[in-house]
Amino acid sequence: MLRVVSLNLANAEIDIHTLEKKLMGLLPNPFRALVLGSSGAIGSAFMGLLENNPWCSQVVGLHRSSEYSLDYQNPDSIESCAVALSCQAPFQLIINTIGLLHTSDWMPEKRLDDLNTQQLTELLKINAIGPALTIRHFSKLLDPKHSIMVTLSAKVGSIEDNRLGGWYSYRASKAALNMLIKTASIELTRTKPNTVLIAMHPGTVNSALSKPFRGQQIGRPANLAASDMFQVIKNLKKEDSGSFISYSGEKLPW
């Protein structure tokens, strides 16, 4: 016997826009983005990716030579940039790609005897203090309805995962950054409950930062790294706030 089933499409109507928003986590359609360190390899890649994303209605890039100069050597520039951009707020996505591993004067320490005040101070300033002040001032530009702030960290900043030693200043600065992000996320849970704040490990990327360590041979192109990370970012949920996450979506130990 043939059964005929009639569907009442009016009662089964699906809100496609709502469904899409759920599928894309906290990021709405459209969303506005801000990339810090947009002149670097990963920052530039994120700029290109977001400029070509149909859901991103605007992306603003900041670096040392942008219209509003953001320079971690000058901590006052952090608040100045945030104040200057406050008229363009809110942003639904902020990605901070700024970081330092080595300079022309020194490389990561291999031994305890290599540890020195200048290098340790400089890396803490760029990798921990600068990003922490960025969270303080730029979190005020985030959309309280739904927003994500991502700060690039590094897996070598994981205390539990440290099995090789070395790289004292870099490891310590990223571990400090991770603690600052975790602590800030707890406060934002109370003040901005619809905001996700995470630390993200980008993996080895072919960039100036990784070049002395065979980055060109073993690293991924920056555009691929940005694409990998954005796949994770766009699916973040509120409960992910305060997490340390890899570009593959794996949650890393602090």
Tokens of 196: 């996700």
Alpha helices (H) along the chain: 16-23, 41-51, 76-85, 117-124, 130-138, 168-191, 215-218, 222-233
pLDDT in tens, 200-253: 999 999 866 646 655 455 578 999 999 999 999 999 999 999 999 999 999 999
The DSSP call for residue 66 is S
State the pLDDT at residue 164. Answer: 94
Q: For residue 163, give the amino acid letter.
A: R
State the pLDDT at residue 4. Answer: 44
The DSSP call for residue 96 is E
Domains of the chain (ranges, CATH numbers): 23-246 (3.40.50.720)
pLDDT in tens, 212-224: 655 455 578 999 9
Q: Give the pTM.
A: 0.87
DSSP three-state, residue 207: coil
Tokens of 232: 């994770």
